[in-house]
A and B are shown apart, each in its own frame.
Chain A
Amino acid sequence: MSRIFEFLFKYRPLVFEQGEFAFGAPGSVRFWLMVGAVVGAGAVASYTLARGKSSVMDRGIMATLRVMLLAVLVFALLQPALILSTVVPQQNFLGVLIDDSRSMGLEDANGATRADFVTQAFTPSESELLDELSERFVLRFFRFSDVAGRIDGPGELTYDGTHTDLAGALDAARQELAGLPLSGLVMVSDGADNENEPLTEALVPLQAAGVPVFTVGLGEDAITPDIELGRVEMPRAVLEGSSLLVDVVITQRGFGRTSVPIIVEDELRILAEETVDLGADGEPVVARISIELDRAGPRKVRFRIPTQPGERVQENNARDVQIEVRGEREKILYFEGEPRFELKFIRRAVDDDENVQVVALQRTAEAKFLRLDVDDGTELEFGFPATREELYRYRALILGSVEASFFSHDQLQMIADFVSERGGGLLMLGGGSAFAEGGWQGTPVEEVMPIIMQESTGGPENFFAEVKVTPTLAGLAHTAVQLNEEGPGVAARWDSLPPVTTVNPISELRPGATSLLLGSSDALPADQIVLAFQRYGRGKSIALTVQDSWLWQMHADVPLEDQSHESFWQQVTRWLVDGVPEAVSVVTDQEQVEPGESVRLTASVGDSTYIEVNDASVTAKITSPSGSVEEVPVDWTVDRDGQYEVQFRPVEDGEYEVEVTAMRGEEVLGTDVTYLHTAPSNEEFFGASRHQQTLQRIADETGGQYYTPDNIENLPEDITVTGAGVTLVEEMDLWDMPILFFLMLSLMGAEWAFRRMRGLV
């Protein structure tokens, strides 16, 4: 289309967009318009006054055609032209950024790789494009993948970069060419950015400097046929023995409506194998796979789909995910305000879980407590913790049926802070003294809860409901309520459980909270929210509004071999402690890197009350796979309280152990260990089709243009008319546009044809 436009209008649309329209004829336009009007009036008069067999309408049509012809002629005589700035040849620099990552080695449908195009387009003395660019600009070449750098020419490209960082490449080129007259940057890439650095931060300085970026998109919009095992949603650390529901996103083209196996395995064995039904072509599907991790330590879990017949890219069929399986025993404090069977049955349910320790504190009379599963005689010696240090030793807190007035205001605030500052998990159970019925409205804890407390009913005599519990859609996807079932079995299992009772009417969620279980009853105006949660500060809060979940164990309708109650509570308690931070914790910005890639270690340091510490002495002991140990200081970042960072570059293949120790004076604030896996990465083969939108955005937001190999020959001229740098004003004639001659011929032809048709000749 643009070629036809260029043929008719002499120049391409871009030139018209950039230029200003003007007439080159001497004298004013008004004068020439008057001349045209006089000539036109003469023409009209000659037609009007002529006599013969023609009708008035015939004469009108012919006069109109003639006037139009004269108008085109006058327009051409006015010498129309476009005035625009063009860059001065060889006075400006042009940065050419070429993607040097592995995805450039992928073959497209025509059998050529993306790298082949680069070779063809940028090889000196062989490429017309390069010759044209070289004639007009001083070229500076850059290669980029995870890092960017200057090269003398495309011959230095190796196409072995493990990541693509578009933003970093633009930044590096802009900084390198700062201060030079720069016409623009040309970015040649498939646009598959896998560094996830925000592009905006790179584009804004380019906009400010007026540097347009001309992007050249390589590759195909969709690689067909191909299956890609995309994102895997899995936590970085779990307790040993945890059951996980892992979401795996699978995209495909060319295998629509078929089924493929997906295999999950660690170094030793297959953890799960399931068949996934694929959707229509191009539609991603999410496969939910249940796995159990039962061996403590760092683990590499591989999710893979066997290569299917005819697949174009095989490397994107598998993903390795690193996970730390923690063997610790996590402590949960369960405070129950009165003897209740919930305590007995919850303790029994989690009794077999070696990684969860439920320390029970049960008030049996005023100021009299029964302590169970405490570590020693001093633990909880005086009842519920009175200090943050004492409470924060636990990773989660379960509040049973205990009225808010039992606690001092400081303790109530401490419970709220336990969630928001310490990052602990809080679970409130239903009961006669729980929620509004326990006077929790208006306390600091109310705001923490994921549900909205209604007015107190006054007790079980006024409100008591038996509810049948069913999972919500969110619940069906949540590990805590799977009851060791999978897929449709989850809802069926819940349906098989007997109703339970509640004395706390709760039917409203707090904004942002999620409901996992609902309870229905004919007598209730709205469904009872049975299980809901929300993130609150650094931690999470959960509400379980029924009071006798033990019926799922004891009820006569539940077979003795049924493990629903045990499974529910094991999952809920593990969920409660999941992700609860230590006072000192360390994470890496990536869980797997290639040898030689830079990794950022970030340590969060707090004291025993989890208040951030900025004057700690923090060191990281890094043990390489071969056993060599390196100790590096980790420095406070200054811009965030309690946050310390250091960069390091692992060089060996294998598992690195990073142990961070934080000290203040002689006091050890804490230690934490994390693991980093170094291995060659296939990241470049994921999402490796052409990302036109990304490249188009870069061009649009900087004032450049987006090209493909099909129209790249326009690049030199386009940069000439739209680029920045040293420019001069150029006048481009339009009077000789072929469209004008076509118009004139057409109008004359039309009049002749009309005359013939009407028999006027």
Chain B
Amino acid sequence: MAQQAPQQSPPVARPNGAYDGRQPRMVEGELPGKYPLYWTRAIYSGYRGGRSWRQSWATDYPKGDQQFLVVLKRLVRLNAYDWDNAVRLDDPQLRRFPVLYAVEVGGMDMTNAEVEGLRGYLDAGGFLIVDDFWGSREWDIFEYNIRRVYPDRPIIDIGIGHPLYSAYYQIEEVMQVPARGRGIRGRPTEECYGCRAAVRGMMDDDGRLSVIINFNTDLGDAWEWAEDPYYPLRYSTYAYEMGANMIVYAMSH
């Protein structure tokens, strides 16, 4: 009875070998769709740190994504693809993955095609989760880039009363999640002086949340290093709670 599907659609575009050999795990030619969720990372053009044109999109990739999926599937009854899945913003196949995760957007420098791709993706109903960028300079870079997508849409604070915080876990406060090596032994959690964590967002034309911006916080590092005995449990717990809530919310709203 078992039959294999025809392979009609083009395969998902993926980064080439230039990205430190870090390849997504979908085999060549495999169609997406077997699983309700593919945890998908956005590949965008950019740089890291301003000094070198390294790829900021790939921060913590793929371990952070894989680790997140392992734990997420234990927490939430979620039939998700087990592996990481990175897709370029200008790839039409991006539309097959309605939740998208972008990190280190402080190093973002999207091409026009990527801007168009992201706008089309969000307009069609896609959901973008942004994480791990710090300070006003990185904010400005991200804002500049997202303004190329939506010049006029306001960026709002997502207050603690928003359904996002109760979609799965009941989250009472927004925490600043530090990168690995911070937030322990009295070290500060922030990566910029005095900056506070914020959860912001953008609404679509119908008033629905379509972008979640985790600013001055690094959920991805907490997911990646949750097994590290030195990484504070309270931060990784919060990061997973927030991750579960964002996934459940994005898949239902």
Q: Which residues of A contact B (CB under 8 A)?
A: 337-341, 343-345, 347-348, 351, 360, 362-366, 368, 370, 372, 401, 431-432, 454-455, 457-458, 460-466, 499, 501, 503, 505, 521-524, 547-548, 550-551, 553-558, 560
* Contact call A554/B248, Cβ cutoff below 8 A: no
Q: Given the known A-B contacts A339-B248, A466-B9, are A365 and B96 also in contact in the complex, defined by CB atoms under 8 Å?
A: no
Q: Does B160 contact A (CB under 8 A)?
A: no
Q: Given the known A-B contacts A338-B79, A339-B78, A462-B2, are A558 and B124 also in contact in the complex, defined by CB atoms under 8 Å?
A: yes
Q: Give the docked Cα–Cα distance between A522 and B5 (Å).
A: 9
Kindly list the 7 A-B residue pairs having the minimum CB-CB distance in the complex, ordered from nearest: A556-B92, A462-B2, A501-B33, A460-B34, A465-B5, A339-B251, A523-B6
Q: Given the known A-B contacts A338-B77, A523-B4, A556-B120, are A501 and B252 also in contact in the complex, defined by CB atoms under 8 Å?
A: no
CB distance from A307 to the nearest CB of B (A): 48
Q: Give the residues in chain A near B247, CB-CB below 8 Å.
A: 339
* Contact call B1/A505, Cβ cutoff below 8 A: yes
The residue that B8 contacts in the complex, of A341, A368, A499, with Cβ under 8 A, is A499
Q: Does B174 contact A (CB under 8 A)?
A: no
* Contact call A338/B78, Cβ cutoff below 8 A: yes
* Contact call B4/A363, Cβ cutoff below 8 A: no
CB distance from A327 to the nearest CB of B (A): 23
Residue of A nearest to B7 (CB): A466
Q: Give the docked Cα–Cα distance between A432 and B120 (Å).
A: 29
CB distance from B178 to the nearest CB of A (A): 28
CB distance from B250 to the nearest CB of A (A): 8
Q: Does B201 contact A (CB under 8 A)?
A: no
Residue of B nearest to A348 (CB): B125
Q: Which of B1, B4, B123, B250 has the most CB of A within 10 A?
A: B1
* Contact call B77/A363, Cβ cutoff below 8 A: yes
* Contact call B3/A344, Cβ cutoff below 8 A: no
The residue that B98 contacts in the complex, of A344, A431, A521, A557, with Cβ under 8 A, is A344
Q: Give the docked Cα–Cα distance between A559 and B3 (Å).
A: 32
Q: Give the residues in chain B near A343, CB-CB below 8 Å.
A: 251-252
10 contacts between A and B (CB under 8 A): A345-B125, A360-B252, A362-B252, A364-B248, A365-B77, A368-B77, A431-B36, A464-B31, A464-B33, A523-B4
Q: Which of B35, B124, B253 has the most CB of A within 10 A?
A: B124
CB distance from A564 to the nearest CB of B (A): 12
Q: Does B26 contact A (CB under 8 A)?
A: no
Q: Given the known A-B contacts A499-B9, A501-B33, A554-B125, are A465 and B253 also in contact in the complex, defined by CB atoms under 8 Å?
A: no
Q: Does B233 contact A (CB under 8 A)?
A: no
Q: Given the known A-B contacts A343-B251, A348-B125, are A465 and B34 also in contact in the complex, defined by CB atoms under 8 Å?
A: no
Q: Give the docked Cα–Cα distance between A401 and B76 (Å).
A: 15
Q: Give the residues in chain B near A558, CB-CB below 8 Å.
A: 124
Q: Given the known A-B contacts A364-B76, A560-B124, are A550 and B98 also in contact in the complex, defined by CB atoms under 8 Å?
A: yes
Q: Does B173 contact A (CB under 8 A)?
A: no
Other contacts beyond A345-B125, A463-B3, A556-B120: 6, CB < 8 A:
A364-B76, A368-B77, A431-B36, A464-B34, A554-B126, A560-B120
* Contact call B36/A339, Cβ cutoff below 8 A: yes
Q: Give the residues in chain B near A503, CB-CB below 8 Å.
A: 34
Q: Give the residues in chain A near B92, CB-CB below 8 Å.
A: 556-557
* Contact call B33/A548, Cβ cutoff below 8 A: yes
Residue of B nearest to A565 (CB): B125
Q: Give the residues in chain B near A372, CB-CB below 8 Å.
A: 252-253
Q: Does B75 contact A (CB under 8 A)?
A: yes
Q: Does B168 contact A (CB under 8 A)?
A: yes
CB distance from B114 to the nearest CB of A (A): 14
CB distance from A561 to the nearest CB of B (A): 10
Residue of B nearest to A553 (CB): B125
Chain B residues 216 to 253 lying within 8 A of chain A, measured CB to CB, are 247-248, 250-253
Residue of A nearest to B37 (CB): A339
CB distance from A423 to the nearest CB of B (A): 29
Q: Give the residues in chain B near A432, CB-CB below 8 Å.
A: 36, 79
* Contact call A463/B1, Cβ cutoff below 8 A: yes
CB distance from B73 to the nearest CB of A (A): 11
Q: Give the docked Cα–Cα distance between A3 and B93 (Å).
A: 86
Q: Given the known A-B contacts A341-B36, A501-B33, A556-B120, are A347 and B252 also in contact in the complex, defined by CB atoms under 8 Å?
A: yes
Q: Give the docked Cα–Cα distance between A660 and B37 (Å).
A: 50
CB distance from B94 to the nearest CB of A (A): 8
Q: Give the residues in chain B near A458, CB-CB below 8 Å.
A: 2
Q: Given the known A-B contacts A340-B36, A432-B79, A548-B33, are A523 and B5 also in contact in the complex, defined by CB atoms under 8 Å?
A: yes
Q: Does B54 contact A (CB under 8 A)?
A: no
Q: Give the docked Cα–Cα distance between A523 and B34 (Å).
A: 16
Q: Give the residues in chain A near B123, CB-CB below 8 Å.
A: 560
Q: Does B208 contact A (CB under 8 A)?
A: yes
* Contact call B6/A344, Cβ cutoff below 8 A: no
Q: Give the docked Cα–Cα distance between A548 and B96 (Å).
A: 10
* Contact call B33/A351, Cβ cutoff below 8 A: no
B144-184 vs A: 1/0 string, CB under 8 Å?
A: 00000000000000000000000110000000000000000
Q: Give the residues in chain A near B94, CB-CB below 8 Å.
A: 556
* Contact call A370/B1, Cβ cutoff below 8 A: no
Q: Give the residues in chain A near B33, CB-CB below 8 Å.
A: 464, 466, 501, 547-548
Question: Taking chain A's interface residues, is the majority helix, strand, or loop, or is none over half, making it mixed?
Answer: loop
Residue of B nearest to A522 (CB): B6
* Contact call B206/A351, Cβ cutoff below 8 A: yes
Q: Give the residues in chain A near B37, CB-CB below 8 Å.
A: 339, 341
The residue that B76 contacts in the complex, of A365, A454, A551, with Cβ under 8 A, is A365
Q: Give the docked Cα–Cα distance between A372 and B120 (Å).
A: 27
* Contact call B79/A550, Cβ cutoff below 8 A: no
Q: Does B196 contact A (CB under 8 A)?
A: no
* Contact call B253/A551, Cβ cutoff below 8 A: no
Q: Does B22 contact A (CB under 8 A)?
A: no
The residue that A521 contacts in the complex, of B5, B36, B124, B250, with Cβ under 8 A, is B5
The residue that B253 contacts in the complex, of A340, A344, A557, with Cβ under 8 A, is A344
* Contact call A370/B3, Cβ cutoff below 8 A: no
Q: Give the docked Cα–Cα distance between A558 and B250 (Å).
A: 21
Q: Give the docked Cα–Cα distance between A499 and B252 (Å).
A: 23
CB distance from A464 to the nearest CB of B (A): 5
CB distance from A148 to the nearest CB of B (A): 63
Chain B residues 193 to 216 lying within 8 A of chain A, measured CB to CB, are 206, 208
Q: Give the residues in chain A near B1, CB-CB below 8 Å.
A: 454-455, 457, 462-463, 505
The residue that B3 contacts in the complex, of A366, A431, A523, A548, with Cβ under 8 A, is A523
CB distance from A729 to the nearest CB of B (A): 80
* Contact call B251/A466, Cβ cutoff below 8 A: no
The residue that B2 contacts in the complex, of A338, A463, A554, with Cβ under 8 A, is A463
Residue of B nearest to A456 (CB): B1
Q: Does B63 contact A (CB under 8 A)?
A: no
Chain B residues 100 to 141 lying within 8 A of chain A, measured CB to CB, are 120, 123-126
* Contact call A555/B96, Cβ cutoff below 8 A: yes
Q: Does B14 contact A (CB under 8 A)?
A: no
CB distance from B37 to the nearest CB of A (A): 7
The residue that A465 contacts in the complex, of B3, B93, B251, with Cβ under 8 A, is B3
Q: Give the docked Cα–Cα distance between A553 and B123 (Å).
A: 10
* Contact call A464/B4, Cβ cutoff below 8 A: yes
Q: Does B48 contact A (CB under 8 A)?
A: no
Q: Which of B95, B208, B248 has the most CB of A within 10 A?
A: B95
Residue of A nearest to B120 (CB): A560
The residue that B31 contacts in the complex, of A348, A466, A553, A555, with Cβ under 8 A, is A466
CB distance from B210 to the nearest CB of A (A): 11
Residue of B nearest to A525 (CB): B3
Q: Give the residues in chain A near B98, CB-CB below 8 Å.
A: 341, 344-345, 550, 554
Q: Give the residues in chain A near B125, CB-CB below 8 Å.
A: 344-345, 348, 550, 553-554
Residue of A nearest to B6 (CB): A523
Q: Give the docked Cα–Cα distance between A348 and B98 (Å).
A: 14
Residue of A nearest to B244 (CB): A364
The residue that A464 contacts in the complex, of B5, B8, B168, with Cβ under 8 A, is B5
CB distance from B31 to the nearest CB of A (A): 6
Residue of A nearest to B78 (CB): A339
* Contact call A524/B3, Cβ cutoff below 8 A: yes
Q: Give the docked Cα–Cα distance between A135 and B31 (Å).
A: 93
CB distance from B116 to the nearest CB of A (A): 11
